[in-house]
Amino acid sequence: MRALLQRVSRASVTVDGEVTGQIGPGLLILVCAMQGDTEAEADKLAAKILKLRIFKDEAGKMNKAVTDVGGSALVVSQFTLAADLRGNRPGFSYAAAPDEGKRLYEYFSAKVAQTVPVQNGIFGADMDVSLNNDGPVTIWMDTASL
């Protein structure tokens, strides 16, 4: 699985003019299931994200996890993280099939929600994502390299 994390002061996702999820301080997690991914990759990704120390401590150093600061997560499906950029028009054949991608997205989101409050986008929808990136801190993750 792949994820793009952004430490945010706030973030929201809107579909067809309605807010489907919004958080205050925490993480915006854009996530994509890749072909061949299983619950094991979702578990590994969730565990790593929840332990990642990218929030400031009292000295201003990135030394706290989202769990340490009482943060939330906004989890949004993002199949374009699977982009194949060999040509000028990205291909997305490395992404999991839609049914499997949705299943793993929902599994991942539920796994994160066992530890921190989670809000969501809508899988497969045309979403308007808004965020205030705190830092800015943006981190790319791929379970193939964890």
Tokens 């060999």 sit on residue: 86
Q: Across all residues in the chain, what is the average pLDDT?
A: 97
Maximum Cα interatomic distance, the chain, rounded to a whole number of Å: 46
Contact between 6 and 145 under an 8 Å Cβ cutoff? The reply is: no
pLDDT digits (tens, 9 = 90+) for 7-29: 999 999 999 999 999 999 999 99
Q: Is 80 a catalytic residue?
A: yes
Domain ranges of the chain: 2-145
pLDDT band at 143 (very low <50, low <70, confident <90, very high): very high
In terms of CATH architecture, what is 2-145?
Answer: 3-Layer(bba) Sandwich (3.50)
Q: What is the pLDDT of residue 91?
A: 94
79, 108, 119, 143: the active-site residue: 79
**pTM summary value:** 0.97
Q: Exactly one of 78, 108, 119, 143 is catalytic; which is it?
A: 78
| pLDDT 10s digits, 34-93 | 999 999 999 999 999 999 999 999 999 999 999 999 999 999 999 999 999 999 999 999
Q: Note the residue count of the chain.
A: 146
Confidence of residue 140 (pLDDT cuts 50, 70, 90): very high
Q: How confident is the model at residue 100 (pLDDT cuts 50, 70, 90)?
A: very high
20 in catalytic set: no
Q: Which of 35, 38, 67, 80 is catalytic?
A: 80
- Identify whether 79 is a catalytic site residue: yes
Cis status, amide bond into 25, omega within 30 of 0:
no
Rounded Cα–Cα distance for residues 29 and 38 (Å): 18
Can you read off the two tokens belonging to residue 43? Answer: 């578990």
- What is the predicted pLDDT for the residue at 90? 96
